[in-house]
Amino acid sequence: MSALNSLSGRIALVTGAASGIGLATALLLESHGMVIYATDLIEPGLTERPHDAEWTNMVLDVRSETAWEEAMDVVIEERGRLDVLVHAAGVSSASPIPETPFDEWRRILSTNLDGTFLAIKHGIRALGDSGGAIVVLGSASGIRPSAGAAAYSTSKAAVTMLVRAAAKECREGQLPIRINVLSPAGVKTPLWETMPFFQELVRRHGSAEEAFSAMEAEGGGCFMDPEEVAESVLFLVSDASRHVTGVELLIDDGYVL
């Protein structure tokens, strides 16, 4: 049996699933027969679920331990287990360090790092002795820092070490849980629309697509579609990567070289 065919019937929870990489991942996993719990901070954005799919929308604030406990309780009560956790929720910011309010620094770290800690903590608890796979979305910016985005780069660098530490704990504790981080370079997601400099690029060039092209021309690397990132997530949650844990998989066209 193909490693991808073996995914049918597995239970997956995906965070950040209202848009971007999270949504693309949830749709791709569902297309391979997985049962999907699609979560995000605000449920109304989760509108693209397939017809007749085993797909449940849930509101989940990844910064809240209580919210994680409640979400996992729902999954275990309804399905009896969790097999896969994909943690794609995250936020970004763009401002030089001297101009970054401390509250903004804390907002980025709280979501990207604290949220990942809670995802891994409660993911391990839910997967337990039966095992499974956890994939966390990192960023090439956690390796090659982005000027004007210190909080974001710092949070993603820390996420990678957290994943490695968690994977080591599971291995040494003989838990059959694989934990990896997937770090893309630029991805065309709605996250960019929140950044003033990107809004200015859109005004200057006429569209988001042209703004991405302008950033590529200025050395920002190749910007990919969320669906391309989702393909790598699919690999990491499948049995094709059954011997892979504690690694950071870069998909960046060599951007960090």
pLDDT tens digits, residue range 232-250?
999 999 999 999 999 999 9
What confidence tier does 71 reach under pLDDT thresholds 50, 70, 90? very high
CA distance 176 to 132: 7
Average pLDDT over residues 210-220: 74
Provide the percentage of residues in the chain whose pLDDT is more than 70: 90
Indicate yes or no: pTM above 0.85.
yes
Whether 256 is in a domain gets the answer no
Q: 78-135 pLDDT, tens per residue? A: 999 999 999 999 998 888 999 999 999 999 999 999 999 999 999 999 999 999 999 9
Lay out the sheet containing 55-59: strands in order across: 55-59, 35-40, 11-15, 84-87, 132-137, 177-184, 248-251
Domain with 134 in it: 5-187+224-251
Q: How many domains does the chain have?
A: 2
**Beta bridge pairs of residue 11:** 35
- Is residue 89 in some structural domain? yes
pLDDT single digits (tens) 11-38: 999 999 998 999 999 999 999 999 999 9
Asked whether residue 159 falls in the same domain as residue 218, the answer is: no
196 closest CA partner among 94, 50, 70 = 94
Residue 257 belongs to some domain of the structure: no
On whether residue 117 sits in a domain, the answer given is yes
Containing H/E element for 87? strand 84-87
Kindly list the catalytic residues.
Answer: 152
